[in-house]
Structure 1
């Protein structure tokens, strides 16, 4: 059985359509498509149900092309690094407020570990 041909005739979902629109946008940005062609093909991508329908829209274009026979890439479950930085920033603000309000006399001494942690995490990259 020809698995490549079978993959072209399988139904597609939203991730495959989104990938195809992204790739079509790259071709538009490169000047290979005029605005009305891009708009028309985007509408056809939105209505496509099979991989072969997507492939037909890229027949006259060079790479990149959608990979309809391959599964769509799955997003990583790992949270972005920005979330860790936000937590560190919020913690630093809370500690700073604590030092200013509660430990007025010892604030400067207690502020040194906060600065050390901040510098360590910043230069650790």
Structure 2
């Protein structure tokens, strides 16, 4: 492990690395970094595993820094419940079955009944689960 890290240093992921590189780009655009400094710091940010490694890249730069609370963490969207997924699956199956019925009636008029029976059986058994 790195001995230069502070206390309980947390590991970072790709979003944190990308944010650091974006902020380095802002400092480069503002003229605070030269091309070779920007390139080196971006390379180090891309390889960083811990927050302290990213923080070290901004020690001699004014704000913004990656740890600034001005940018909130992205919110996670809640996953639908198992019941909602099951209902959604039934709706999709019902829509597909209705489309198949219309297609069979319009295109294969004389073959519609023999083809509809297996389709209805599949729908019936899948809705019974």
Paired position in structure 2 for 1:30 = 30
Partners of 2:43 and 2:37 lie apart in 1 by 10
Deviation of 1:7 after TM superposition, in Å, equals 8.7
TM-score w.r.t. length of structure 1: 0.50
Paired position in structure 2 for 1:55 = 55
Paired position in structure 2 for 1:15 = 15
TM-score w.r.t. length of structure 2: 0.49
User: Per residue, is there more helix in 1 or in 2?
Assistant: 1
The two structures, once aligned, show a CA RMSD in angstroms of 3.0
Of structures 1 and 2, the one scoring higher in RCO (CA 8 A, sep 6+) is: 1
Q: Is the 8 A contact 2:20 2:54 kept in 1?
A: yes
Partners of 2:8 and 2:26 lie apart in 1 by 22
Q: Is the 8 A contact 2:17 2:45 kept in 1?
A: yes
Q: Which runs of 4+ in 1 moved over 4 A?
A: 5-8
User: Is the alpha carbon distance of 1:72 and 1:48 closer, same or farther for their aligned partners in structure 2, counting shifts above 3 Å?
Assistant: farther
Question: What 5-or-longer segments of structure 1 have no aligned partner?
Answer: 78-125
Q: Verify: 1:44 aligned to 2:32, yes or no.
A: no
Partners of 1:72 and 1:37 lie apart in 2 by 28
Question: What 5-or-longer segments of structure 2 have no aligned partner?
Answer: 78-129
Q: Deviations over 1:14-35 (max 9, x none)?
A: 0000000000000000000000
Between the two proteins, the alignment pairs up a number of residues equal to 72
Q: Is the 8 A contact 1:8 1:50 kept in 2?
A: no
